[in-house]
Chain A
Amino acid sequence: MSSLFGLLNVGATGLHAQGFGMGVASQNAQNANTVGYTRRDVRFDPISPPPDGGGGVAVRGSRRVMDQFLERRLLGATAAKAEASSRSEALSVLDRVLADVEGGLGASLDDFEVALSELTGRPADPATRGQVLATAERLAVAFNQAAQEIDRTREDIDTQIEREVDGINETLRSIGELGVQIQKSEIGGREASDLRDRRDQLVRELSEKLPVEVIAEDSGAVQVLLGGGPSLVNPDGSVAQLSAQPDATTGAMHLFRTTSGVDQDVTAYADSGALGGLVAARDGALADSEAALDQLAFDFAAAYNTAHAAGYGTDGVSGRNLFTPIAAVDGAAAAFSVSTDVLGEPDRLAAASDPALAAGDNRNALALAALADADIARGGRMTAQESLGALVSEAGQAIRGAHLDADFADDAAAQIQSMRDSVSGVSVDEEMIALSRYQRGYQASLRVVQAADAMLQELVNLGR
């Protein structure tokens, strides 16, 4: 049996330990709603009785309860969710641009074709001629607006990418600094749970922007890898910096990692997270739609100009353009406009095939109207309407795909989050039970002190 004073000490370690336990349980309960908080459990070790030790209980500190495997999966799911939702948000502009509404591209194309068709019936009627020019102008506006909206969205995305990259660099530095702090704090052997929580929360935030993988070392140091490839944060706390730059020729966005002054193209690794989603939207469906729109505008202007130039206005003059000739496919939709050859001059519309019959001849109008059924778009495989329909379908699929991906990723992330919370989340009830357990333990320790005190009292009285 240990000494009576030793017994007092045993009681004291118990009081300290139960108090510590209550502290941890209270902290857990208080942080039930704290984002990124991982519940702690208490580590007690028995102290061997004399002669080996003093007896009682030793507090080994608290430790975060977590499953590394789930944490890793959560990072992946978070990145996938952010990718799909930012992609779907960025693509929503196409839904607006290509919606089949009054004044939209499709309706304007209809109006123009209908006006030409009516021109074949009334080639000499000034009102009908005016209608053709008016609808041609509206079609031009529709092309311009669609191109501008997509362009503006891509510019917005560029700004957003720049901001995200700045934020990412900031986060990378913080993670590196925290890694160093954690290593220093844990030299004593106790886990720096709060610092680790903060670091893990930062990594989670990072995973919303980029796909990241974390390799944790026992020392508390971490290495953060981009998409399982290049390192962003090294165990020694040094970090790489990212930058985004569009390619000079293709215009596609590229992501670079700069370490000690050397740039490495890491675009291929950044295929997830909000940044991955933005790049995918920008250089995927948005670029494709813009290119398809440009091609359609280019082909359309060329085909109608050729047919129009062959005919004669009521003044017997031929060789006029209906639309301003477009030099390059790139930017054609934005440049699409009614030619100054005919602008505001309905008489100059070339409805006639014979200058001598310019007043009543509708044969060139027939040729122009027939272009609606001619395969003038997509390399001579589709009519203008079919090409627009194909664009609607392609863009629609891209947006719908993004929506579905977002829904799926959202569910998957929620499920993994739930699994993670099942391990690491706080249950207030559990903490309540823990509180009463430590309360009971505290009472027991007090009894030990009381008993030792009573025995000491009796021992002292014995000497009187």
Chain B
Amino acid sequence: MRVSDSMMHELATRGVANNRESLFEAQRVASSGMRVEKPSDDPVAASLARGTKSRERRSDAVAKISNEAVDRLQAVDDTLGNVGDIMSRARELAVQGANDHVSANDRSAMASEIAALRAELLNLGNTKIEGEYVFSGLSVDRAPFDATGAYLGETQLKEIEVGPGLRLATQVSAADIFGASGGTNPFTALDDLEAALRANDGDAIHASIGGLSASVDQIANGRANAGGQQQALMQAAAAAERVRDEAIRRRADLVEADPVESFTDLVKAEGALREALAIAARMPPPSLAEMG
């Protein structure tokens, strides 16, 4: 083939230009650590990476709100513990007071203690955490119990979505615990006991023990349920964290560069450019023009 001067120069120029381009790309990947930064770097990977990023952020949010709910339920659990203690103490007093040897004066003193316990129970029933009544269901700005102990809250509980279509309650069912939906009302039980004590009526005191026991059991059940809710939320948080971590890993696989590979590519590109430059440095080729 006949070779003109421009062909040789063009070859050297293109050799250098192409290798510079390759080196530039290798440098970009090595310095950023990212194989895919723009959609055109790898359209499919970029598109999938968008999905993984979304999954990462949203799972993280689910984990966050689930963990917050767990924390709140933990605080509520402490309150329920105190409620349980009150009712246990009331039952103790009822058992003591039911004894025929107890004097009317002692029963009267017990009645006063019961009244104090009832006030404390009302206080606990209207517990607020972060400005919200915890036993009101969705009506968080309304005190769930009035002075008579009637339940004014909502039975509908606040829920969060921990997965598509999967919702978990983040409030305990105060209605169940405080007997608003067909169980024993602890306020009524205390009222009955107090009245019986004041009336110095041993039979009536004895009769109140059953209601108090039912109430204690009811609260214990409620705490167990709340514990189960906490457990479920913790599991949901852990699952969301696993999804998040998996999404992060998947995204890294999609868009990040393998450090060893990118360094090898860089070295290769440098070597190739060096060779192209060595060839270009030998321009112009030997010619008759210089041999005059």
Interface on A for B, CB 8 Å cutoff?
A: 29, 32-33, 39, 92, 94-96, 98-100, 106-107, 109-111, 113-114, 117-118, 120-124, 354, 356-357, 359-363, 366, 369-370, 372-373, 385-386, 388-390, 392-397, 399-400, 403, 414, 417-418, 421-429, 432-433
Q: Is B74 an interface residue (CB 8 A)?
A: no
Closest chain B residue, CB of each to CB of A373 = B164
Given A123-B158, A425-B7; 5 other pairs, CB 8 A cutoff: A98-B46, A114-B60, A114-B61, A393-B43, A394-B43
Tell me the bound Cα distance from A98 to B41 in angstroms: 12
Interface on B for A, CB 8 Å cutoff?
A: 1-7, 10-11, 14, 37-44, 46-51, 53-54, 57-58, 60-62, 64-65, 68-69, 131-132, 136, 138-141, 154, 158-161, 164, 167, 170, 287-289
Complex contacts, A429 vs chain B, CB 8 Å = 287-289
Complex contacts, A361 vs chain B, CB 8 Å = 138, 158
Partner of A428, one of B49, B68, B288: B288
A-B pairs with the 5 shortest C-beta distances? A425-B4, A396-B43, A360-B140, A121-B65, A396-B39
- Asked if B7 contacts A418 (CB within 8 A), the reply is yes
Closest chain B residue, CB of each to CB of A436 = B288
Complex contacts, A363 vs chain B, CB 8 Å = 138, 159
Tell me the bound Cα distance from A386 to B53 in angstroms: 12
Closest chain A residue, CB of each to CB of B11 = A418
Tell me the bound Cα distance from A235 to B81 in angstroms: 103
- Asked if A392 contacts B43 (CB within 8 A), the reply is yes
Complex contacts, A95 vs chain B, CB 8 Å = 38-40
State the Cβ distance, A160 to closest chain B Cβ, in Å: 21
- Asked if B57 contacts A114 (CB within 8 A), the reply is yes
- Between B4, B68, B287, the greatest number of chain A beta carbons within 10 A of the residue's beta carbon is seen for B4
Closest chain A residue, CB of each to CB of B37 = A99
Tell me the bound Cα distance from A421 to B39 in angstroms: 38
Complex contacts, A427 vs chain B, CB 8 Å = 2-5
Q: Label chain A's interface by main secondary structure.
A: helix
- Asked if A397 contacts B43 (CB within 8 A), the reply is yes
- Asked if B65 contacts A120 (CB within 8 A), the reply is yes
- Asked if A33 contacts B61 (CB within 8 A), the reply is no
Closest chain A residue, CB of each to CB of B136 = A360
- Asked if B43 contacts A117 (CB within 8 A), the reply is no
Complex contacts, A121 vs chain B, CB 8 Å = 64-65, 68-69, 160, 170
Partner of A359, one of B37, B51, B140: B140
- Between A356, A366, A386, A396, the greatest number of chain B beta carbons within 10 A of the residue's beta carbon is seen for A396
Partner of B47, one of A122, A373, A390: A390
Assuming the contacts A99-B37, A389-B47, asked whether A117 and B61 have C-beta atoms less than 8 A apart, the reply is yes
State the Cβ distance, B3 to closest chain A Cβ, in Å: 7
- Asked if A428 contacts B287 (CB within 8 A), the reply is yes
- Asked if B3 contacts A422 (CB within 8 A), the reply is yes
Complex contacts, A110 vs chain B, CB 8 Å = 53-54, 57-58
- Asked if B10 contacts A393 (CB within 8 A), the reply is no
- Between A92, A109, A120, the greatest number of chain B beta carbons within 10 A of the residue's beta carbon is seen for A120
- Asked if A98 contacts B39 (CB within 8 A), the reply is yes
- Asked if A422 contacts B65 (CB within 8 A), the reply is no
Complex contacts, B62 vs chain A, CB 8 Å = 117
Tell me the bound Cα distance from A354 to B139 in angstroms: 10
Complex contacts, A123 vs chain B, CB 8 Å = 158
- Asked if B10 contacts A414 (CB within 8 A), the reply is yes
State the Cβ distance, B147 to closest chain A Cβ, in Å: 22
State the Cβ distance, A108 to closest chain B Cβ, in Å: 11
State the Cβ distance, B248 to closest chain A Cβ, in Å: 13
State the Cβ distance, B168 to closest chain A Cβ, in Å: 11
Closest chain A residue, CB of each to CB of B9 = A33
- Asked if B288 contacts A32 (CB within 8 A), the reply is no
Tell me the bound Cα distance from A414 to B10 in angstroms: 9
Complex contacts, A29 vs chain B, CB 8 Å = 289
